[in-house]
Amino acid sequence: MPDQSVPQARTSAEVAQAPDSTGGHGVSRRALLGTAGATGLVLGASGGAVGYAAAPAQATPLTSVGSDRGMFHGKHQPGITEGLQARGHLAAFDLTAGAGRKEAAALLRRWSTTAERLMAGEAAPHDDTDVARDAGPSSLTITFGFGHGFFDRTGLEKQRPSALDPLPDFSSDRLDKARSDGDLWVQIGANDALVAFHALRAIQKDAGGAARLRWQMNGFNRTPGATAHPMTARNLMGQLDGTRNPKPSESDFDRRIFVPASGDPAWMANGSYAVVRRIRMLLDDWEKLSTAAQEAVIGRRKSNGAPLSGGDETTPMDLEKADAKGEYIVPLNAHARITRPDKNSGAAMLRRPFSYHDGFDADGTPDAGLLFVCWQADPLRGFVPVQRKLDRGDALSQFIRHEASGLFAVPGGAAKGEYVGQRLLEG
């Protein structure tokens, strides 16, 4: 994933003087971690352990992981271009019977207020559970989107984007309808599990009588600072996942990932479309393969993500390179070959997934895999053509199963004083 800069953490003095949720100056979620015990782990800027030292008499500031903060207001919603977070929750809600445009607007107003406060490290606006009382923002992001059915329920059918048309069926689909789609979608990510759960609980409580939970999924990634240096994340198959992700520094990044400011419909300006897939990895079968066989399926080295044709992770893949027998070094059905943008008419999407593990089946088979989330300006030019091509002969397909799916229109970021989706609901 692309590295993203984060605002500098405030000093301990600034944090200590921050108003609490009651308006006074007291210990809030943004306040200090508090006095440590007899010994405390001192963390450096990278989040790695520097050493142990006796705790000072005074309170100590939040670690770098806890103090990192995302911005709720902006051109785009948070949770799209930020780096992978250690913990994530995906949830979909359906509007309840009788709830329409007015109730949806009130709900998005509540959700936006809660998201802004929690992302700043503050308590929820009401009935806070105190789950994250001792933590900082921990890079929390909360993102909102609209499903196909939302527009029918709110009488806004004429404002539904054509890009939100249902995805076609794919041969690898084994979809559970109860865990797919939904009127409203929420993505929560943070680098602390309690902070992420706190946000999920607050969002669920805010739904009140306007919406009911349709499905919810939990995911994780490696914690920042767990590796000696920043690197591409690994999935549960042990492969580096996201090597060829588009980067914001690329000249065509915005064109591929975000709806232009002059886009149609106008309320989707600077927004994006999220495809969400629960992809189960058949790990028992995968782990029976040798490392060489796994690498042939993917087309990259398991150790460092380098293409089989040579080089390192960022080296362009040589698709024409052959061995002494004249056979392609990167097999024709290798996953990395099939998904290359230059082999899919330039189709590109920004992958931002979470791994998941939901226990084991009765026979001991792990229910684990990838909560696949990808972002693009138009799913019919991003996700769909690539998935269709994978359907026709991807070597990885026999080791995965798509079990849930959703497509959501994610509007641009809310300006200060606005709530997410206001231009749709009040336009």
Distance from C-alpha of 134 to C-alpha of 15, rounded to nearest angstrom: 13
312 is catalytic: no
Q: Establish whether the linkage from the previous residue to 316 is cis, with ω within 30° of 0.
A: no
CB atoms within 10 A of CB 50: 11
Q: How many residues does the chain have?
A: 427
Cβ contacts of residue 23 below 8 Å, gap of 6+? Answer: none
CB atoms within 10 A of CB 154: 22
Helical ranges in 138-258 per DSSP H: 148-153, 193-207, 253-257
Instruction: Single out the catalytic residue among 181, 241, 254, 394.
Output: 241
Q: Find out whether 343 and 334 touch, Cβ atoms under 8 Å.
A: no
Q: Find out whether 192 and 86 touch, Cβ atoms under 8 Å.
A: yes
Number of H helices, E strands in the chain: 11, 11
Q: Find out whether 300 and 336 touch, Cβ atoms under 8 Å.
A: yes
Distance from C-alpha of 42 to C-alpha of 32, rounded to nearest angstrom: 14
Cβ contacts of residue 146 below 8 Å, gap of 6+? Answer: 164, 183, 184, 185, 408, 409, 410, 411, 421, 424
The owner of tokens 């226990």 is 359
Distance from C-alpha of 393 to C-alpha of 400, rounded to nearest angstrom: 13
**239: helix, strand or coil:** coil
Distance from C-alpha of 384 to C-alpha of 382, rounded to nearest angstrom: 6
Catalytic residue numbers? 241
